[in-house]
Amino acid sequence: MTYRAPVQDIVFTMRHVAGLDRAAADGIYGDLSADLAQTILEEAGRFANDVIAPLNAEGDRRGATFKDGAVTTAPGWKQAYRAWAEAGWNALPGPVEYGGQGLPTLLNSACVEMWNSASMAFGIGPVLTMGAIEALVQHASDDLRSRYLDKLVSGEWTATMNLTEPQAGSDLAAIRSRAERAGDGTYRITGQKIFITYGEHDLTDNIVHLVLARLPDAPAGTRGISLFLVPKFLADGTRNDVRCHSIEHKLGIHASPTCTMIFGDHGGAVGWLIGEENRGLACMFTMMNNARLAVGLQGVAIAERAYQQALGYANERRQGRAIGAHDGMSPIIAHPDVQRNLLTMKALTAAARAICYMTAEAIDRAHLEQDPARRKKANERASLLTPVAKAFSTDIGMEVASLGVQVHGGMGYVEETGAAQHLRDARIAPIYEGTNGIQAIDLVTRKLPLSGGETVRAQIASMRAIVTRLLKENIPAFGATAPRLRDAVESLDRATSHLLQAVSSNAQGEALAGATPYLRLFALAQGGAALAEMALAANAQAAAGDGDPAHAGRIALCRFFAENIAIGAKGLEDTVLGGAGFLQDANLALAS
């Protein structure tokens, strides 16, 4: 089953939830109109459909291979990557002064979704390059920027993110890689990094590694970590002292090489400091925040791909006789249970897409708003939404891909249809770029307290405003959407107060115990509100005489989400309020 980029749904989400029209009207997006965005996305969709998607299954079967220190990507990968970069897709969000097109994160996010639907193993590489570009733009010296940015923006070179070491995964305070001052302004880097995505490959002539390491006199913990740029090849063409030791054999994304990297076999790899000494983690967070939204988009992407595949199969596969059918076997889509699975897949995907695109627009405003107070507000909104976008979208990516296998029955469990590959590929996204457990802790302990809780309160108020509109307009086709959504938003409000109180009174155990159910609760309320906002826009367009049948579908999907998925909010609220006490009592089960 091939992929078809859902450009209409994407553009509708950008316009009616993520605020593309509003941002364009405010002058935030320069010349970018909804029509221009649609034209660009149709072109991106064609590239994703025609060039990347056909490589996905073969990339999975053949994977990347390692021999004598070199990594060879799967057949067709190199040509596709070069065609993709030459078409300007890598440069789309890049700064204009370094050859980029300077287009917004929102537009690029829609493209990132498409590249990753076509192939997650392909899409993850550019995510890291784009993150590195942002870190260099914000933190690197003029000299480093002028030497590296042009080629990274064009995609002639790629970049990596080197954080993880065997003893330092979620806890980067444990990093041991070393950096020595060489006395000439450069540094010598030694150490081992594991799980480095596209750490070595044959797609480009050079690879630019961004590496976290410690100086000899650095304070312990995260305050003693610095960030360095370490190229595979130095400016004079000599090979730097960095090599790939091996690549991993893993569950999914086989075509994305996951490398163990060794720095400094021969005295130390030459590196240049990015930002200030011992302030590396803050610089790396620029890259990681960008990458966290992009990984959330991978969740949306794989969910969309799995949904399209399952829908196609459910229309073709015949088993059993549907209620009311008179003879022969019916297509399985006629059975209520299969319909429920498909609707759940579609509704979760649409909600996650809306949350990711809202996050992207907040990031754009945080960069582009003229007024400092509005910029700060947007920045805090982006900070609040980023862990939700990452964790919810990648969790549902897994859930939707698993439902996709279920819709296929036994044919989903064997490799022939491709449904199994989506499930295997989806599994990494809740783990990398900070596990989803870490995202939930970030949301509760660092993001809820932003501006004394004002940021989250404003977000909840925006959800309430949508509920108020639903109640006021009282449209029969929306069924019980308004009361169900109102309940979800009120559950979120109470759980938020509980956790804000826990954080401010230093009741850490209470806050941490409720973090993961809280993140899900936030996403259910936010996702439901976003789908309702789109459905209200669809209803208004239909009332104005626009006969697009997709409008009725958008209202039905919003209603399904509110009546069947958002109703889980109350249970999640109870779990959050039960908090540490619930866990403490239950822990007896782990000891027995």
Question: Which spans of this chain sit near ligand FAD (rule: CB under 6 A)?
Answer: 161-164, 169-170, 195-197, 250, 258, 428, 431-432, 434-435, 437-438, 441
Residues 6+ apart with CB under 8 A from 150: 98, 99
Distances (CA, A) of 195 to 160, 291, 497: 11, 16, 39
Residues 6+ apart with CB under 8 A from 376: none
Provide DSSP, 471-520: HHH--GGGTTHHHHHHHHHHHHHHHHHHHHHHHHTT-HHHHHHHHHHHHH
Q: How far is the CB of 525 from ligand FAD (least distance, A)?
A: 24
Length of the chain: 592
Give the span between the Cα atoms of 183 and 199, in whole angstroms. Answer: 28
Q: Which of 77, 420, 66, 433 is nearest to 251 (CA)?
A: 420
Distances (CA, A) of 26 to 33, 365, 518, 531: 12, 10, 33, 23
Q: How far is the CB of 90 from ligand FAD (least distance, A)?
A: 17
| CB distance 362 to 381 below 8 Å | yes
* Closer to ligand FAD by Cβ: residue 518 or 560: 518
Q: Which of 353, 319, 341 is nearest to 405 (CA)?
A: 341
Using Cβ positions, the residue closest to ligand FAD within the complex turns out to be: 169
Residue 511 CB neighbour total at 10 angstroms: 25
Q: What positions carry a catalytic annotation?
A: 433
Give the span between the Cα atoms of 218 and 192, in whole angstroms. Answer: 19
Q: How far is the CB of 205 from ligand FAD (least distance, A)?
A: 20
* Closer to ligand FAD by Cβ: residue 168 or 270: 168
* Closer to ligand FAD by Cβ: residue 53 or 161: 161
Taking the CA of residue 277 as centre, how many other CA atoms within 13 Å lie in the half-sphere pointing to its CB?
13
Backbone angles phi, psi at 59, to 5 degrees: -60, -40
